[in-house]
Amino acid sequence: MRGITVGGVLDEAAATWPDREALIVVNQDVRWSWRELRDRARQLAAGLLATGLNPGDRIGMLAPNRAEWLLAQFGTAYAGLILVNINPAYRHSELEYALNKVGCRALITDTQFKSSDYIAMLRSLAPNLSISTPGDLHTSQLPELRMVIQLGSAGIAGMFSLDEILGNANAESCARLDLVSAQLDFDAPINIQFTSGTTGAPKAATLTHHNMVNNARMSAAILKFTEQDRLCIPVPMYHCFGMVLGTLLCAGCGAAIVFPWPAFEAEATLKAIEAESCTALHGVPTMFIAMLDEPGFEHYDLSSLRTGIIGGAPCPAELMRRVIDDMHMSEITIAYGMTETGPLSTQTRPDDPIELRVGSVGRSLPNTEIKIVDENERILPIEQPGELCVRGYNVMPGYWEDRERTAEDVGPNRWIRTGDIATMDEAGYIRIVGRSKDMLIRGGENIYPREIEDLLYTNPKIDQVEVVGVPDPKFGEEIAACIRLRDGEQATDEEIRQFCRGKLAHFKIPRYVLFVNEFPMTVTGKVQKFILRELLTKEFEQATGTSQPERAAL
């Protein structure tokens, strides 16, 4: 454990590996050394302070993966500003909610990305933006927001450009920055991330330097990262996976950071791995599925790969085996956690037996406690399923200015409830059975979808499967398996049920088998099961009195 700030980590990297490559952004043709990254981040920090921002102010970042994300991540940390990560897929109401929820005083924004026109969205929320003096915005819908900084050099009315902010750095503001940085407390909040909203309205999880720096360090040690490694990061920077287990992890050990594309694209990621000889790759399961299924996958040279993390969502054992065998990632790990734990709580080790690396989420990270409890919060015996709870340095202080919601998840003894149902074996390995909210009860039997999904993933015809419960008048709930088949494959609902017979108890065999083309997803690659359940329930209600639908309209 180290008592050091995020900016301190970058300072050490620049001092230790000044001329080694730190950041490669393929689509921007950027190649910065650790010294260059440090100098640019400090320049941004000094420029932000010169505009009138003060330590503790919240500043939003609305952009896909690009070099400026690193400047924002480390620059705000140097200045003691609290960086607020905003999902680049947010629309008007979501952006308004995020900015107002935590009282953002400033916003750094891209101009547009894909179908999102961020400037138009801001003008809609702040109609007087174009006639305001940059840095002096006053608007009723965004009452705390004073400053908008757009990425690039082109002038947009009412906004600063990032180049203007960088140009504000002078001897006076740099001297102030030195004073501010020297007084920073590593236990102070430095980052706010909104939970992904798979089960409801996002909550503003607040993380400290200490949460993130040490979580990145623990994971880097498990991965055996050194300055010789090169990490491909297709996961989004607005999430912990990208900015803690990606960029901050690399800064702590001098490994190079590679951004293949602004958002995940399988082809771009595979090309970047090959061209940059990446030794590691992070991603959620759906990303690995997409890469393995990319046309011409077998022609990419991925032999440089060694390790990485699959996380962010449950990883089927069959997918893990394909990653090890087909992507040459012999030391790939599975990691488990949540935004509120900065993010990791458990991780498999590269030298764990293969059956544990494909069948568990590993053991607790150093200095992290795990317990499995029943509904009365009593610790359960080994191998008995219950809710997984976490305690340690990685647990957030709380949700931003929301004591009520914090108290719902974090107990008086600092144990945080994850909402996940898990088991623990004698050696401390954790197996996630499912989400407590995903658990369905059929005729009095508790059923965890994860068990059914893991079995179905062993069917070679199945590319992706999600199991949910739908209302049933006789049993209370019935099991619905939504399946996306591999390209060129065909199957029937009865064929899938027959595959399950003899492998699952009869009451766990899906009554409904639906073949789908896609799933409702968050941008981080998590399937929104609550939306899937709502869609299926509505479809079944419309089909009352007829045979079950064979293909869901998703």
Task: Choose among 261, 256, 204: nearest CA to 229.
Answer: 256
Q: How confident is the model at residue 553 (pLDDT cuts 50, 70, 90)?
A: very low
Q: What is the pLDDT of residue 196?
A: 57
Cβ atoms of 432 and 387 within 8 Å: the answer is no
Q: What is the C-alpha to C-alpha distance for residues 144 and 97, in angstroms, rounded to an integer? A: 12
Q: How confident is the model at residue 135 (pLDDT cuts 50, 70, 90)?
A: very high
Longest dimension (CA), the chain: 77
- The DSSP call for residue 519 is -
Exposed e or buried b per residue across 373-387, where buried means at least 16 C-beta atoms within 10 angstroms of its C-beta: eeeeeeeeeeeebbb
Comparing 141 with 420, which gets the higher pLDDT? 141
Q: What is the pLDDT of residue 85?
A: 97
Q: What is the C-alpha to C-alpha distance for residues 48 and 55, in angstroms, rounded to an integer? A: 10
On the question of pLDDT at 400 being above 90, the answer is yes
How far the first Cα of the chain sits from its last, in Å, is 47
| ω into 64 cis (within 30 of 0) | no
Q: What is the pLDDT of residue 543?
A: 62
Average pLDDT across the chain, whole number? 92
What residue spans define the domains of the chain? 35-194, 367-428, 440-542
Comparing 525 with 258, which gets the higher pLDDT? 258
Q: What is the pLDDT of residue 534?
A: 85
Q: What is the pLDDT of residue 525?
A: 66
Q: What is the pLDDT of residue 549?
A: 42
Q: CATH code for 35-194?
A: 3.40.50.980
Q: What is the pLDDT of residue 130?
A: 96
Q: What is the C-alpha to C-alpha distance for residues 382 and 429, in angstroms, rounded to an integer? A: 10
Q: What is the pLDDT of residue 140?
A: 97
Q: How confident is the model at residue 546 (pLDDT cuts 50, 70, 90)?
A: very low
Comparing 549 with 459, which gets the higher pLDDT? 459
Q: What is the pLDDT of residue 198?
A: 42
Exposed e or buried b per residue across 26-60, where buried means at least 16 C-beta atoms within 10 angstroms of its C-beta: beeebebbbbbbbebbbbbbbbbbbbebeeebbbb
Q: How confident is the model at residue 93 (pLDDT cuts 50, 70, 90)?
A: confident
Q: What is the mean pLDDT of residues 502-527?
A: 84
Helix (H) or strand (E) holding 332: strand 331-337
Task: Choose among 226, 251, 225, 215: nearest CA to 78.
Answer: 251
Q: What is the mean pLDDT of residues 197-212?
A: 81
On the question of pLDDT at 387 being above 70, the answer is yes
Q: What is the mean pLDDT of residues 286-309?
A: 96
Q: Tell me, which fold does domain 440-542 have in CATH?
A: GMP Synthetase; Chain A, domain 3 (3.30.300)
Q: What is the pLDDT of residue 91?
A: 84
Q: Tell me, which fold does domain 367-428 have in CATH?
A: Luciferase; domain 3 (2.30.38)
Q: What is the C-alpha to C-alpha distance for residues 398 and 406, in angstroms, rounded to an integer? A: 5
Q: What is the pLDDT of residue 523?
A: 60
Cβ atoms of 92 and 100 within 8 Å: the answer is no
Comparing 447 with 292, which gets the higher pLDDT? 292
Q: Who contacts 547 (Cβ-Cβ below 8 Å, separation ≥6)? A: none
Q: How confident is the model at residue 199 (pLDDT cuts 50, 70, 90)?
A: very low
Q: What is the C-alpha to C-alpha distance for residues 551 and 26, in angstroms, rounded to an integer? A: 40
Q: What is the pLDDT of residue 45?
A: 98
Q: What is the C-alpha to C-alpha distance for residues 388 and 340, in angstroms, rounded to an integer? A: 14
Q: How confident is the model at residue 526 (pLDDT cuts 50, 70, 90)?
A: confident
